[in-house]
Amino acid sequence: MSVPVTGRASADTGESAWHPAWLPPAAFRELGSRPVLVHGDGPLVDTVLDEVSRACARYGGRLWHGPPWQVDVDLVLALRAAGPVPNAAAEAARLGATPAVNGTGDGSLGDEGYLLARVSGVTVVLADAPGGLLYGMFHVLRLGAAAFDDDLPARRHRPALDRRMLDHWDNVAVHPVSGQVERGYAGGSLFWRDGAARHEPARLRDYGRLLAACGVNAVCVNNVNVHDTEARLLTDRLGDVAEIADVLRPYGVRVHLSVTFAAPVVLGGLPTADPLDERVRAWWAAATRRVYQRIGDFGGYLVKADSEGRPGPFAYGRDHADGANLLAEALAPHGGVVHWRAFVYDHHQDWRDRSTDRARAAHDHFAPLDGRFDDNVILQVKFGPIDFQAREPVSPVLAAMPATRVAVELQATQEYTGQQRHVCYLGPWWSEVLRFRLRGAAGGTIADVAAGRAGTGGGLVAVANVGDDPFWTGHPLAQANLYAFGRLAWDPRLDPGAILDEWIDLTWLPVTTDDPEPVRRTMHAIMDDSWRTYERYTAPLGVGFMVRPGHHYGPDVDGYEYTPWGTYHFADRDGLGVDRTRATGTGFTGQYPPPWSEVYESRERCPDELLLFFHHVPYRHVLHSGRTVIQHIYDTHFAGVEEVAAMRERWRLVAGAVDPAVHDRVAERLDEQFRSAVEWRDQINTYFFRKSGVPDAHGRRIH
Ligand code: GCV
């Protein structure tokens, strides 16, 4: 039967109030202009059918779903178990009779994997589960015309990480300090507005498509800081969560919920939330049962406990294994998991006390607990020991928990990387983190930790950077971070530069010419190194946190220096940096396994970019680069501003070649980035010139 076409006005007509991001209608041109066979049934197959039928309606192709069918289709998307397909080449592939297909290992595809080939003029996507078909279809879109050119050798594609999740720091009620979205730079929340659910399924559905198209399969719908209104999402406001789950489910995205550890008290009226109290356990079991009655495929809970004022097990003299296992026990009968955050530190530190070190906190708390967490606890660890800075070492906790499922947490929302007013493509930074080997060359990577053994790992999580902004991310180019997160979570070995090009090609089709090359080249040149540019004009050599307190935008070298937050640079007239050595400092280097415990301990061996994170050094200390620390500060800050100026020039050159609304938005943000970079340069250079008294070797103007 050929399937009747159903359309959704928003994405089909391009008339929606929001940008299509990486799924503009034109991305479907190649697929939609051909005869296509979709073979199989199930809810996610329905999604594939819907996508293909709308594409065919737009571009003149034809969709077949079951017999009688056309034999000469160009594309077959089939569940292997759905039975024979008409096209001989596709059928041979389905039966594994194609030699190339036979060469693809054990052949198992799992719930999300697929096999993609082009044999004898037909492109074939085979999967064992509907999710695989959906991801396979998006792969065909990424390939564009190349999906239908020459033969493609059969390749099995399975995600390296089973869990690929976005955490929204969205509040239901507008919080007096953090607003609708904590650390949100993309307008309001997609889910909530002014204390209530938005009930806007069209936008949410498009969000689900975007997520599936880059590989994300889970979202947590509310902020880890759970306030009064948000606490009730677990109970009387559960219907709102169920509604979101219903909209995202067709794109293979499961919903999770942040809960407060104090829920038995604030919602249940119990006198305690003690994890070992029977009444508390019974309360969580009953509340969780009700969640699963409403949302059968609910993912689980996310908890921030004993952190920045949130309640937690410490109040009852219990540890974090007791706390996490309490929720794990409630979720286990339903197949749910608890993501338990390791972001636990003292935010009432005495800045005078140089022995207390915030960087040590997560390891101090959690390393002794390895082996005590239930199987469905995932310890969610920020990638670095402090807090999502533009440069930090990788957290030693990631090497300390071999008997625990661990998720690595990244921050797509650009709290410390320009707040979506600055271009800062984070793919290269995340890739560096994921490829890092905590035990040296012979050991596994951070991605391996997230993958766990045989897929049991906690996966990769990012704090989301989207909102109700028409471009989804405030800065249109920040979409690339969301896209890159999904793609790296699917395959951490992907090259971030190639991901960037993929995103550009899928998203920014030129408006006045058929030649995509100038726009592609310009965007690539602006974005590819933009994280390093950002690093150059902000806090130097890994020292971090020279931002304005509270909102964290713009420079303020001493903004946090005499505060309780544990984020100091210790600059004086002789030098700067934090001594975290075992020999003379806080001993943080001892939390790393070799070789890094030795490399970071040594001033001589420590990589330049992390020197000030680990050592307090004189301004005239000579880096591996051959420059002194102070000259490095001056040089990088001048260079960073020049690079932003060049970005701005490049963007001017593509005026007219991209949608004017996009061009204006990016141009306006680049102006602000330039202004801000100049401010950073001048404050940092002036501060260190005045502290050190060392002039710039090149005699440039410092104030
Ligand atoms: C959601 C930092 C941010 C907070 C955030 C916290 C966290 O401290 O500034 O806004 O709270 O990290 O990750 O829990």
Q: CB of 567 closer than 6 A to ligand 1?
A: no
C-alpha dihedral over 273, 277, 278, 284, to 10 degrees?
30
Q: Whose CA is nearest to atom 12 of ligand 1?
A: 387
Residue 225 near ligand 1, beta carbon < 6 Å: yes
Kindly write down the DSSP assignment for every residue of 568-626, as one continuous string. -----SSEE-----TTTS--GGGGSPTTHHHHHH-TTTS-GGGHHHH--EETTPBPTTS
The confidence score (pLDDT) of residue 515 equals: 82
Is residue 387 lining ligand 1, measured as CB closer than 6 Å? yes
What is the DSSP annotation of 350-416?
A: -TT-TT--GGGHHHHHHGGGTT-S-TTEEEEEESSSSSS-SS-PPPGGGGS-TTSEEEEEEE-S-TT
Q: With contact defined as beta carbons under 8 Å apart, do 182 and 220 qualify?
A: no
What pLDDT does residue 71 have? Answer: 82
- Would you give the DSSP letter of residue 347? S
Cβ of 183 closer than 6 Å to ligand 1, yes or no, is yes
- How many angstroms does the Cα of residue 304 sit away from the middle of ligand 1? 10
Tens of pLDDT, residues 120-144:
999 999 999 999 999 999 999 999 9
Which of 166, 167, 168, 169, when mutated, tests ligand 1's pocket best, judged by the most ligand atoms within 8 Å of its CB?
169
CA dist., res. 284 & res. 167, Å (int): 22
Ligand 1 pocket, residue 502 CB under 6 Å = no
Relative to beta strand 170-175, strand 179-181 is: antiparallel
CA-to-CA separations, 227 to 38, 315, 465, 535, in angstroms, rounded: 46, 18, 21, 34
Is the shortest distance between the CB of 138 and ligand 1 below 6 Å? no
- Give the model's pLDDT for residue 596: 98
Cα 324 to Cα 374: distance, rounded to the nearest angstrom = 8
Q: Which two structure tokens, joined as six digits, stand for 362?
A: 């997560």
Low-confidence ranges of the chain (pLDDT < 50): 1-14, 99-104
- Give the number of the atom of ligand 1 that is nearest the alpha carbon of residue 552: 9
What crossing angle do the helices spanning 479-490 and 201-214 adopt, rounded to 10°? 50
Ligand 1: which residue has its CA nearest to atom 11? Answer: 225
- The pLDDT tens digits for 196-231 are 999 999 999 999 999 999 999 999 999 999 999 999
CA 558, CA 538: separation in Å to the nearest integer? 14
Cα(393) to centroid of ligand 1, in Å?
Answer: 19
Closest-CA residue to 643 (of 531, 546, 551, 540): 531
Residue minimizing CA distance to atom 8 of ligand 1: 387
Give 287 Cα–ligand 1 centroid separation in angstroms: 27
Give me the phi and psi of 529, to 5 degrees please. Answer: -105, 15
Alpha-carbon span 63 to 39, nearest angstrom: 10
Pairing relationship of beta strands 254-258 and 218-220 according to DSSP bridges: parallel
Instruction: Give the per-residue pLDDT at 194.
Output: 98
Angle between helices 629-653 and 517-527 (to 10 degrees): 160
520/512 Cα distance (integer angstroms):
14
Which residues are marked as active site?
308, 387, 415
Mutate to test the pocket of ligand 1, among 346, 387, 551 (most ligand atoms within 8 A of CB): 387
What letter represents residue 113's amino acid? Answer: G
CA of 342 to the centre of ligand 1 (A): 12
Per-residue pLDDT at 456: 86
CA of 609 to the centre of ligand 1 (A): 24
Tokens of 262: 């104090």
Give the C-alpha distances (Å, rounded to integers) separating 647 from 388, 504, 510, 694: 24, 16, 19, 31
pLDDT at residue 191 in the model: 98
Q: Which helix (H) or strand (E) holds 87?
A: none
Q: For residue 3, what pLDDT is reported?
A: 40
Is 601's C-beta closer than 6 angstroms to any atom of ligand 1? no
Q: Is there an atom of ligand 1 within 6 Å of 206 CB?
A: no
pLDDT computed for residue 15 by the predictor: 59
Q: How far is the CA of 124 from the centre of ligand 1 (A)?
A: 45
Residue 181, H or E segment: strand 179-181
Q: Is 158 helix (H, G, I), strand (E, B) or coil?
A: coil
